[in-house]
Structure 1
Amino acid sequence: MNAAKGQSTKLDAKLFDDVPVLRRKWQAALKPGETLPRYENVLLGSLGRLADHLVLLKCDNGAFAVSRTGRYAQNWLGDARWNIPMDALRPDCATVLSEAVSNAIANNRPYLAAAHCVRAGMVRTYDVLALPTFSRWGGTLVGAYVNERGTEFNLIDAIFCTTDDGVVSLSALRDPTGRPLDFQVVHHNQAAVKLLDVAEHSLLWQRLSNSDHLLCSQEVVGRLRAAVTNDQSDQFEIEDDNRSLRLGVSAFGNIVSLVISDVTSLKRRDASFRLLFDSNPMPMWAFDAETMDFVRVNDAAVQHYGYARETFLRMKVQEIWPKDEQVGYTRALRDAGDIYQSEHPWRHVKADGSEICVLTFGRRLIIEGREGYLVVVFDITERRKAEARIAHMALHDGLTNLANRALHRERLGDALENGNAAGKHVAVLCIDLDLFKNVNDSFGHAMGDHLLEQVADRLRSRVAGNNLAARLGGDEFAVILTDDISPNRASDFAAELIRSLSAPYEIDGNQVVIGASVGIALSPGDGTSSEELMRNADMALYRAKEDGRGTHRFFEREMDYQAQRRRELELDLRRAFADSEFELHYQPLVDIASDKISGFEALLRWRHPEKGMISPAEFIPLAEEIGLIAPLGEWVLRDACNEAVKWPSEIKVAVNLSPAQFRSLHLVQVVISALANSGLAPKRLELEITESVFLAETEANLAILHQLRELGVSISLDDFGTGYSSLSYLRSFPFDKIKIDRSFVKDLAIRSDCGAIVRAISGLGRSLNITTTAEGVETTEQLDWLRAEGCNEVQGFLFSAARPAAEVGQLLLRFGARASKAA
């Protein structure tokens, strides 16, 4: 599934920063002398979107149970219920949660574990970060953050590539120091059940420490631990009763693939040669050690290689070897002792000319009076293909088959190393699809996936040779140009690429049109390391999007300066909230009919100790991007209610809500708390939202709005008329007020279309019994127009700019006196 872009520009692209952010948040909340920080200081308030990824676990009589879960975590668990015991969860989820929670509590520190979950044959890897906290209500609460790494591979293809061998996949479980402690069976085929002589239900999801079969022996577990620790392959044999089993071990991170082959028949020297040879299902042959002539071949070899038996017996061993390997293979046979087992796969040629990959086991013996070798062949062609597929999937995007972020980073590092040494330029292009989110919102994620596949096809058609195209995630792509690229060539390439990606797409009978923006960084001037070059190309992309999209921009040093200013502003913004540098100003809302103040809109202001007043247009988008808008919004709501309760009882206060506050799932409780602590009557509180609240999680957000209405709070739709579907929102929810955007009021007296729009909105409000408020009123001429068109309420500089709370009383007195004089 493709990842749709979130409300902030770079949020999804930086999910890999979540774990260090949460670690720092936990560390910052830890007070001197305490072993654990408090729950409310870590897991409440400012988590923003991260709350969707959390599983909250509480201790109940020594056992942990799931108390609360976010939406993303519920999808991972496959269970949306709260307050359920750990053993009610999926075994794969329960296992990693238990590991992470136990180790976090044992160390009194955050603990990062890896979960390997199998869904429909796909192995997905998740990071699980356990954050232990102390609850003031007693006991320990652990917040477990869950997020997918974005890599997956098809386990079914790997496991069932052969039918004769038993295949078992195990997940390594680690102790607090990171060493492999135990192994859990996550998948197996039917042959494994037979070879291990166990019931099928007693194998899957079982730990080796809790089981009793051949794989549980100290020897096997020790070899598995060594393979995982050293990230290497291994092959060895074990004996059980009258059986001999060969075990092939391949480690892929925390996943271990174990191939079990029964070689008992080869080990029974006392069995008859005919039974061992002719009836063996494995291809076998015997050849003369001196002449290299085939002496005997069994039925399995005849069938497997495709040569007629008579033809086989007229051939020499060298004839089934590729010509380029004959010298090396001949030397290997001459150096072989009485027993030979190939350490590396050999290539063999079948009768139809195709090649297979095999492992061979040979024993020197006397065959029909001649010294020779008896050889058994294990065909691992399909297994090698599966391993190659797994290796490919680890470095390529599963949807588009382009290089993924890991391969892109590796190839860019190699290109820069070679380019820097040879004094040649390397260019990096960061590409972002314009309007892609609209496709997902309008047609669904399936259409978005098809679109990404076609985008990848167009990239492949443009990127050739030693250059590389990659998908970094979501709708973000990158291209590496390595052929001593010049700025002009990079510019021409980017312009042509934008034209190609912007051409219409035909998908399932629909024509889809998107665009592309490109940022370019060129070595060595823009950076000599992959990290520096990618960072600068990303800044250039950000500038291209700011300049109207559908264009490309080169990195300039001024961009780095602006990025540093933004980082500085971010640090100041975080400090400002902690140091209480924010304040609320209030702009009056004037009832046109009575010419009296009917309420005030609370507007957030930031008084920087050195830079003075910072524009909300500068810091509010940044607060939304870094996840600070939710706690800021809570503070605004509480402070506005505390101030409004001091005003006359007929005066309302209007507070703006950010879409991020709706994602926190605690908005209703925050409003209830603000009203209860201040004593403000709910009917005096007006909450303003914009249509962006409806663009995601529509059903959930509508439910929250209805809950707020049930409290007695008024709901207002801000910036009405500027969105593309505002009218549909009036059908979705019974708003108390709609606010006419200032862009229509500004040109009211000079543009007839603005007057028509205001007249239509006012008439719509009267028909639906909804109050209409006009924003940005600056002249008496505008006021007269609005009064004539039937607007109910106005606000703007004509009456007053937003003023500090201390001046609200003067404004009320001034307007009261004016109304009395008019009467």
Structure 2
Amino acid sequence: MSAAKKMPGKPATEMFDDIPVLQRKWRAALRPGDRLPRYEDVMLGSLGRMADHIALLKGEGTLELSRSGRYVQKWLGDERWDIPVEELAPDCATALSEAVSSALKNGRPHQASAHCVRDGMVRTYDLLALPTASRWGATLVGAYVNERGAQYNLLDAIFSATDDAVVSLATLRDANGQPSDFQIVHHNKSAELLLDVASGGLLWRKIGHGTTLLAAAEILEFLLKAVLGGRGEQLEIESDGRHLRMSATAFADVISLTISDVTAMKRRDASFRLLFDNNPMPMWVFDAETRQFLSVNDAAVQHYGYSRAAFLRMKLHQIWPEDEWESHTEALERVGETYHSQRNWRHLRADGSEIEVLTFGRRVPFNDRDGYLVAVADITERRKAEARIAYMAHHDGLTDLPNREHFQERLKQALDQAAGKRVGVLYIDLDLFKNINDSFGHPSGDRLLKEVAERLTTAVRGANLAARLGGDEFAVILAADVSPNEASACATLLIEILKAPYDIDGQEMVIGASIGIALSPGDGTTSEELMRNADMALYRAKSDGGGVHHFFEREMDLQAQKRRDMEVDLRRAFANGEFELHYQPLVSIASDRISGFESLLRWRHPDKGMVSPAEFIPVAEDIGLITQLGEWVLREACHEAVKWPSDVKVAVNLSPAQFRSRNLVQVVISALAQSGLSPKRLELEITESIFLAETDANLAILHQLRELGVGISMDDFGTGYSSLSYLRSFPFDKIKIDRSFVKDLAQRPDCVAIVRAISGLGRSLNITTTAEGVETEDQLDWLRAEGCNEVQGFLFSAARPAGEIAKLLAEFGQRTSRAA
């Protein structure tokens, strides 16, 4: 797969805001006794911008991609749906398959990383697979994908200069977690030349299914031995007249395989006298019995720093470190006619420095003595590069702090070693960091994150550990037997340190920090419990305005339970028909008659009575119920409005979630068709949040609705960031003046000025203006004087059930009659 441009998506510094939210949402939807939560409870509803980052996969039989958001489609390079995953680009297909398989096997969310090469750059993506059960019995998995942000060409930088073929392999495991095959995730140019493969022909290939020499059974067995043993392995093979030596080093499930073509060296062995002296590899001959150096070539003299005369006075053990004398001796006693290193050895140079080497030897006669000819390959730099790869796998590429994986490993170790003593977790989130990115750009934000990391490193010492979990989230382990007072003092110190001004490229920047604290064993005995509870405490600290720290409290769990109860009640309420619509009249100032009604959703709980929309609407949005509720409101309002006079309209509020569902136009058409209501009698009210994301797509939907003849109204006008620009983007039929300006109309000149300006704007643009929250005659007089067209508020009536509409109309001298 090729991707010439960086895919747009959620900023990398915020990606871990999404993953904990999705994990919490999955846990919250899990019902007692169920193995998996329902698909509708997890994947439908208020995913917001995350919806574009989610793919839906069917986990029965052959893994199939059922749906994918726009960001995922760009990552895959494929916009198709309902296709087997194996038809996707191999790097993406492997990452999705492994994550989904693990999630299905374990029955819980599985977080993983995918490393994809795009235009020569290694890009790292975070994957979160969320297994769910659908109501028709199938198992569905939602996979969230987002780029971690940092791009690097590490392997190219390390290995491009070597003549050896260097191949990086990722271990593929079967359903039982056992290694079964290997996939090539990176290689240098020498690998293509040595394996005689066209450019690009190796990348992402599974070696077990390939046609190169890597597909040989002995090589597969060799690699399996390396990954299972967790150590370096050596192998020599002969292929098509070439002699190849292979060195494999395993770092967890990643193997660095180096292939050296030693055919030339073999041939030099056959003509030793001719080629020995000028060989560029260090070589020598030593006595098989006394181990005295008998001859050394120029390369050995130059590389080791001993003079030739000094070399010839020495014995072999004198270039070995003393701590390896025994192992070197044992290895020599086992050699036969030929040998090559079964491990890396350390050698001493004349200046005392150590190098790591591989040695290759053959028994040869030398000046009538029994000797061994040895060639030495210095792999010191290669080992340093491999160590660097291992280091980077456990550290954040931007800040060099330990990453999430390393943090979790250390936290588990600390808990295992605690023996009942307290271990503390401080979960840190930077305040106002998003403002820095938005105002100064991500490069400045990255430099700021580096300075934050430096301050944390300076403040967190000893057995404690500071890590970057992702985005602007950090965490600290207090590994000693820490008291609550000590944890509080540490959190206070860190907040003070992090809020001090930063000088970034000569620009002073100020942020803050909020911290959540959890202490074992009271707040949890596992790393997962401590992290979850520290995250809850952090949420409380952020809710209190930030810049503070909070300890985890059991009350937070109780609040979470109340929230879960509300979610259960909401789903039951929708199924049981506990929702109803009330209608508040809109009155024309010119005619003093009702021109329409705004439909308002109400919940009549069987035990709690009427529940405030302010309580249940946000929860309905979070759990994805708001779209279904919105469709019901639209159908019910149209059905009721048909009973009213033909000049009376009905207004329905739309949620941003209904726009994201992308079937809003069809829902409106269906509601009008089923009720028989004329489109001209329907008004749809939106807020400016519709314009804050996916403006082009939402504008297209609004234009389609207006083409139907439906009126579009901007609600809460004047309270947002850029409402005037929206009037240029779309020809609204109505703007509603927010009640905050009407409330103090008679007391505050600025409110009068704002109402006058909005009314004048409406007249100039031929847009109806409606004032909300009218409660007094005095306010009505002001609005009439300022040219407002329509009013709404308690002065005329509160929202009433449908059964009271006829009475309200009668009070205004209007009679109900069924009219479309």
TM band (smaller chain): 0.7 to 0.9
Farther-moved stretch of structure 1 (329-338 vs 665-674) = 329-338
Distance in 2 between the 1:463 and 1:736 partners? 59
**Matched residue, 2:20:** 13
CA contact (8 A) 2:42 2:623 kept: no
Greater Cα shift, 440-449 or 14-23: 14-23
Q: Taking structure 1 as reference, are residues 206 and 551 closer, same or farther at Cα in structure 2, changes over 3 Å only?
A: closer
**Contact 1:97 1:144 (C-alpha < 8 Å) held by counterparts:** no
Three-state SS of the structure 2 residue aligned to 1:296 is strand
What is residue 284 of structure 1 aligned with on the other side?
A: 283
**Is the CA contact (8 Å cut-off) linking 2:43 and 2:142 kept in structure 1?**
no
Other structure's SS at 1:396 match: coil
2-structure distance, mates of 1:759, 1:647: 32
Deviation at 1:79, TM superposition (A): 5.0
Residues of 2 paired with 1:274 and 1:579: CA distance? 95
Encode CA deviations 1:104-144: one digit per residue, 9 max, x unaligned.
99xxxx999986532233153665969999999xxx99988
d(CA) in 2 for partners of 1:527 and 1:551?
A: 22
Paired residues for 1:144-293 under 5 Å: 145=143, 147=145, 156-157=155-156, 160=159, 163-171=162-170, 183-200=182-199, 202-208=201-207, 211-224=210-223, 234-251=233-250, 255-264=254-263, 271-275=270-274, 277-288=276-287, 293=292
2:425 aligns to what? 428
User: Normalising by the residue count of structure 2, what TM-score does the alignment of the two structures yield?
Assistant: 0.83
- What SS does structure 1 have at the residue aligned with 2:393? helix
1:36: which partner in 2? none
Structure 2 CA distance for aligned equivalents of residues 605 and 233 of structure 1? 68
CA gap of 1:21–1:206, structure 2 versus 1, over 3 A, is: farther
Quick check: 1:559 aligned with 2:556?
A: yes
What is the deviation of 1:566? 1.9
Instruction: Specify whether residues 512 and 575 from structure 1 end up closer, same or farther in structure 2 by C-alpha distance, changes over 3 A only.
Output: farther
**Unpaired runs of at least 5, structure 1:** 31-39
Q: Deviations over 1:310-360 (max 9, x none)?
A: 55445554554456x355555545655446554443333445655433233
Could you tell me how far apart the structure 2 residues matched to 1:675 and 1:326 are? 86
- Give how far 1:307 is off: 4.9
Residue of structure 1 in register with 2:456 after alignment: 459
Superposed counterparts of 1:473-484, under 5 Å = 473-484=470-481
Conservation of the 8 A alpha-carbon contact between 2:232 and 2:343: no
SS at match of 1:539: helix
Conserved 8 A contact 1:427-1:485: yes
Indicate how the Cα distance of structure 1 residues 149 and 730 shifts in structure 2: closer, same or farther if over 3 A, else same.
closer
**Shift in Å at residue 211 of structure 1?**
4.0
Secondary structure in 1 matching 2:646:
coil
Work out the CA distance in 2 between the residues paired with 1:42 and 1:415.
34
Aligned pairs, how many? Answer: 796
- Counterpart position of 2:409: 410
Q: Within the alignment, does 1:533 sit opposite 2:533 as a pair?
A: no
Partners of 1:815 and 1:15 in 2: how far apart?
51
Tell me the amino acid that sits aligned with residue 664 of structure 1: S
The structure-2 alpha-carbon separation of the partners of 1:657 and 1:229, relative to structure 1 and needing over 3 Å to count, comes to farther
Q: For 1:700-779, list aligned pairs within 5 A.
A: 700-779=697-776
Q: CA deviation at 1:271?
A: 0.8
1:664–1:512 CA distance, 2 compared to 1 (3 A): farther
1:11 and 1:625 in contact (8 A); partners too: no
Paired residues of 1:116 and 1:171 also in contact (CA < 8 A): no
Look up the SS of the partner of 2:71 in the other structure.
Answer: helix
State how far apart, in whole Å, the 1-side matches of 2:489 and 2:100 are.
54
SS in 2 for 1:613: strand
Quote the offset at 1:276 in angstroms.
Answer: 6.1
Aligned residue for 1:34?
Answer: none
1:3 pairs with 2:12 = yes
In structure 2, what is the Cα distance between the partners aligned to 1:699 and 1:130? 30
Q: Structure 2: how far apart are the matches of 1:636 and 1:22?
A: 25
1:655 corresponding residue in structure 2: 652
Task: Find the aligned partners of 2:659 and 2:442 in 1 and give their Cα distance.
Answer: 22
For 1:568, give the aligned amino acid.
D
Deviations 1:702-743 (A, max 9, x none): 343333333333333322333333333334333333323223
**Residue identity in the other structure for 2:538:** L
TM-superposed CA distance for 1:431, in Å, is: 1.6
1:383-441 Cα shifts (integer Å, max 9, x gaps):
323332332232222332222222222222222333344x3x33222122223333344
TM-score, normalised with respect to structure 1: 0.83
Aligned to 1:124: 124
**Distance in 1 between residues matched to 2:563 and 2:110, nearest whole Å:** 32
- How far has the Cα of 1:508 moved from its partner? 4.8
Q: 1:460 to 1:99 in 2, by over 3 A?
A: closer
Partner Cα separation in structure 1 for residue 690 and residue 287 of structure 2 = 81
**Distance of 1:536 and 1:210 partners within structure 2:** 46
- Tell me the SS of whatever aligns to 2:398: coil
Task: Please tell me the residue identity of whatever aligns with 2:679.
Answer: P
> Separation in 2 of the partners of 1:101 and 1:463?
37
Cα distance change, pair 383–111 in 1 and its aligned pair in 2 (3 A): same
* CA separation of 1:502 and 1:11: change in aligned 2, threshold 3 A: same
Aligned counterpart for 1:520 among listed residues 517, 522, 539: 517
Cα displacement (A) at 1:783: 2.7
Match of residue 379 from structure 1: 378
Secondary structure class of the residue paired with 2:427? strand
Q: Superposition RMSD on alpha carbons, in Å?
A: 4.5
**8 Å contact 2:742–2:779 — kept in the other structure?**
yes
Q: Choose 622-631 or 14-23, whichever is displaced more.
A: 14-23
What amino acid is the match of 2:211?
A: D
- Counterpart of 1:695 in structure 2 is 692
Structure 1 range deviating more: 81-90 or 678-687: 81-90
Deviations 1:144-174 (A, max 9, x none): 8452595988562487166132123345566
- 2:45 and 2:625 in contact (8 A); partners too: no
Quick check: 1:159–1:188 contact (8 Å CA) kept in 2? no
Percent of aligned positions that are identical: 66
CA spacing shift, 1:199–1:4, aligned 2, 3 Å: closer
- Check conservation: 1:498, 1:516, Cα contact below 8 A: yes
Report the CA distance shift for 1:528/1:171 in structure 2 as closer, same or farther (over 3 A).
closer
- Quick one: distance in 1 between partners of 2:412 and 2:131? 35
Task: Identify the residue that residue 5 of structure 2 maps to in structure 1.
Answer: none
* 3-state SS of 1:766 partner: helix
For residue 76 of structure 1, report the CA deviation from its aligned partner: 0.5
Asked whether the 8 Å contact 2:719–2:738 carries over to 1, the reply is yes
Report if aligned partners of 2:30, 2:38 keep a CA contact under 8 Å in 1.
Answer: no
Q: Aligned-pair distance for 1:641?
A: 2.9
1:802 matched to 2:799: yes
